[in-house]
Amino acid sequence: MIFKKQVVIKEIERESSYDYRLLKTWAEIDLSSLRNNIKFISRRTGRDIAIMAIVKCNAYGHGAVEVSREAVKLGVKALGVSSLSEGIELRNVFSEIPIIVLSSGMSGQAEEFIEHRLSPVVCSWQMVNALSEAARSRGTKAAVHIKIDTGMGRIGVWHKQADEFVRAVYNVPDIVIEGICSHFATSDEEDLEFANQQLSWFADFLDKISDIPVRFRHISNTGGIFNLPSAHLNMVRPGLSIYGVSPSDFVKDSVKLKPVLSLKTKIAFIKKIPEGRALSYGRTFVTDKPMKVATLPVGYGDGYPRMLSNRGYVLIGGKKARILGTVTMDQMMVDITGIRNAKVEDVAILIGKQGREEITAREVARMADTIPYEIFTSINKRVQRIYIDRD
């Protein structure tokens, strides 16, 4: 059975229904865990709160189309992306659901936004005017989400002057304000003082424009969903939580989420190394005793962090195997001296469970001095995605 770039496989663990021989390094995406997480978030927020599933950057490396398909089946009300091209990719598959481009819209793309019925985030008259002209020429209206800056500082109209901007946009005949949004900067931290200040500013602003009909009002990312129930408004934007990972130790109840992605490879070569021999580029590791070393066909060219050189580990045979030397573009070496019966083509776990051991995306991120978001989004297209469904 030869696999193409995207494959859906059922009962993979119980029935071994695909041929491991054809795989080298791959990511398994568990659709049943994905559904569990969306349902858990929905229960947490309540049936009256709409969910915008954040599927930008190829759904955090999980596959935008496949993740969106499951999310739409579960009744999410919108999909959130970060660029025009991401929006077009999804609009070619999903004809009706609102697709919101969350980064600042570019006026030169106005025609494409209208053609593909995408909803850009706007916070400038340059973009509003371009959208209005493009919509008028097609005899339609442009749906937009207006971004309010309450302290994140990236994009948006500062909240103290935003009501004037929103009222002016509302009076543009070719524009429909589909949503009003802001973004938390610290909702996943232990100290929620500034997040509560942002929420207060946003609530005051919404009071000022309460007479203007707006379909969606949203500020809550994953941290806001779990830590600030009063911030749910009538729409939330779960991102990392959909994929079963908490952004920090301070996000309440996120332990009930189930990781969706496992990253796997296989042993390509095994050799015995004598004491005193250096390994990999830069000779950063020298054996202090005879060792048994396995080479894995994965490296930073696949998105696995080079920062894990001499500090990370993988799982082989249900045991930890530490990384030896520098992680290279396509290969790296691990210590299997204490792992009996390890052999070529055995599966090695880079993220996920094996036996009683588990290495999480957050743990990999910690060892690499980064965050889980970067770990997921760095896994590139060279790594084949395999979709499994345990239900």
Residues with catalytic function: 56, 281
Phi, psi of 280 (to 5 degrees): 65, 180
What token pair was written down for 246? 């908490």
Cβ neighbour number for residue 213 with a 10 Å cutoff: 9
Write down the H helix ranges in 46-176: 56-60, 64-73, 84-91, 110-115, 125-137, 162-170
Sequential DSSP letters for 210-279 = TTS--SEEEEE-HHHHHH-GGG-TTEE---GGGGT--SSTTSTTGGG----EEEEEE--EEEEE-TT-EE
The H or E element spanning position 6 is strand 6-10
Phi, psi of 308 (to 5 degrees): -85, 0
Contact predicate 139/169, CB 8 Å: no
Q: Which residues pair with 309 in a beta bridge?
A: none
Cα 327 to Cα 341: distance, rounded to the nearest angstrom: 24
- List all residues 6 or more positions away from 94 whose beta carbon is below 8 Å from its beta carbon: 68, 72, 79
Helix, strand or coil, per DSSP, at residue 318: coil
Cα 137 to Cα 133: distance, rounded to the nearest angstrom: 6
The H or E element spanning position 27 is strand 25-30
b/e for 92-112, b at 16 or more Cβ within 10 A?
eebeebbbbbbbebbbebbeb
Contact predicate 382/298, CB 8 Å: no
Contact predicate 185/197, CB 8 Å: no
Contact predicate 380/330, CB 8 Å: no
b/e for 17-51, b at 16 or more Cβ within 10 A?
ebeeeebbbbbbbbbebbbbbbebbbebbeeebbb
